[in-house]
Each structure stands twice: as structure tokens, then as C-alpha cells.
Amino acid sequence: MAVERDADVGVAFTLLTKLNCPLCDHAREVLDRVGVDYLVNTEVVWLETPEGEEFATTQHTPFPPVLLIDGELHGFGRLSEKKLRRELDRMDAPRRSWWDRLRRLATPSARR
């Protein structure tokens, strides 16, 4: 089922992560790289918070990182950048303009 979305808003990522987690660090790096090419909004939820504990319980996931795309579970554990990009293409996710991509690559603070 296709999700109707405003092209200016893009795709909503929700990432459940935790401190001192190499897989979580990798997931955040992947989302940063993907965010250069696609119009995405990423919300990070830390497992160590009450919101994070509730999130983990409701998603029935054994360990972080956990990624939701537009509220639907994409997966957990090691995040595959190739699989994520394929999914975004399948969803017809809005892409950033070449100028915006160049600006985001040149400015580290713009990636967040």
C-alpha cells in the first residue's frame, strides 16, 4: 500500500538506538549517508529512556538498532544501506536536488 506524503516532508525514519552499540553507530552512519540523497526526517529514540523502552516493547524487537520507515518496521540489527536504498526507490521516496546534495556533503552540520 502506497503512503501519501508531502514531497517537502519526505520519508519519516524512526531509529531506536542505544549507547555503546557498534550496530547502532553503523545505523546512524547509514542514515546520514542515505539522507544526503533522499529527503528524510530521522527521529532518534534512545533505548535508555522510558520512551525507548516502550518503543522496544511495542515493536517486539530483541535488540537495537530498530528502524521504522513511515511507522512500519523496516528491520533491526545491522542495517543494510543497499536494502534501505532499494526500499526507498520502491516507495518512490523524494530525492534531494543535486544542489542540496552537494551542500549537505560540504557541510557536516547540514547532515543532521
Classify residue 1: in a domain, yes or no.
no
Structural domain boundaries, residue 39: 11-111
The span from the CA of 43 to the CA of 33, in Å, is 15
The CATH code of the domain that includes 80 is 3.40.30.10
- On average, the pLDDT of the chain sits at 85
The span from the CA of 76 to the CA of 55, in Å, is 13
- Provide the edge-to-edge strand list for the sheet that holds 66-69: 40-46, 11-17, 66-69, 72-76
DSSP 77: S
Classify residue 73: in a domain, yes or no.
yes
Classify residue 2: in a domain, yes or no.
no
Query: How do residues 16-29 score in pLDDT, each as one tens digit?
Result: 999 999 999 999 99
Please give the pLDDT value at position 87.
95
Classify residue 33: in a domain, yes or no.
yes
Q: How many domains does the chain have?
A: 1
The most distant pair of C-alpha atoms in the chain lies apart, rounded to whole Å, by 41
Classify residue 6: in a domain, yes or no.
no
Residue 111 cell numbers, joined = 547532515
Beta bridge partners of 42: 13
Q: What angle do CA 83, 89, 91 make, to 5 degrees?
A: 105
Query: How do residues 42-93 score in pLDDT, each as one tens digit?
Result: 999 999 999 999 988 888 888 899 999 999 999 999 999 999 999 999 999 9
